[in-house]
Amino acid sequence: MYRDMGWAYVSSFSGVWHYFRRPWEPGETPKLYTDRESLVEHYKKIKRVMAAMLFANLVILFANFANIVSRLEASMRWGDYGAVARYLRNFVRSARIWDRQDEQEDQRDGRVAGTACSPF
C-alpha cells in the first residue's frame, strides 16, 4: 500500500513504529488514511485507547474514593462524581463528532448515508 502512494520504507523501531519517506512538493499536504477502511480502523483504535483510559481512570478514581470518602463531608463528595460524568460526556461527544465527520465526508463524496461501515 505504501509503495502505491510513492512512499519508501526507511526503518522500524520495536515492531511498533514504522518510518517511511517520500518526496515533498511545495504546497502539498500528505494525507493518511485516505481510504474508508483504514480510516474506520484508525477510529476504532482511538476508541479502544479512549475506552482503556476511561477504565484506568475509573479504577484510579475509585481507589482514591476508598481513601478519602471517610474524610470528606457529604456535600463535597459529589464534585468527584461530576468529574467522571464530564469525562463520560466528552467521550460520547467525541464519538458523535466522528460520526458527523463521516456523514459530511459521505455527503461530499456523494455516498448514501448509512451504507458504509461506521467505527461506532
Q: What is the pTM of this model?
A: 0.38
Name residues whose C-beta falls within 8 Å of residue 120's C-beta, 6 or more positions apart in sequence.
43, 47, 95, 98, 99
Tell whether 93 is covered by a domain: yes
- The total number of structural domains that make up the chain: 1
Tell whether 21 is covered by a domain: no
Q: Long-range contacts made by residues 29-37, C-beta under 8 angstroms, separation at least 24?
A: 36/116, 36/117, 37/117
Tell whether 102 is covered by a domain: yes
Digit-coded pLDDT (tens) for 15-48: 778 888 888 778 877 677 677 887 888 888 889 9
Tell whether 72 is covered by a domain: yes
Tell whether 15 is covered by a domain: no
Tell whether 114 is covered by a domain: no
Tell whether 26 is covered by a domain: no
Domain around 42: 33-109
Helices 74-109 and 36-68: angle between axes, nearest 10 degrees: 180
Whose cell is 505504501? That residue is: 2
Digit-coded pLDDT (tens) for 55-107: 999 988 887 777 666 565 555 555 666 777 777 788 888 878 877 887 887 77
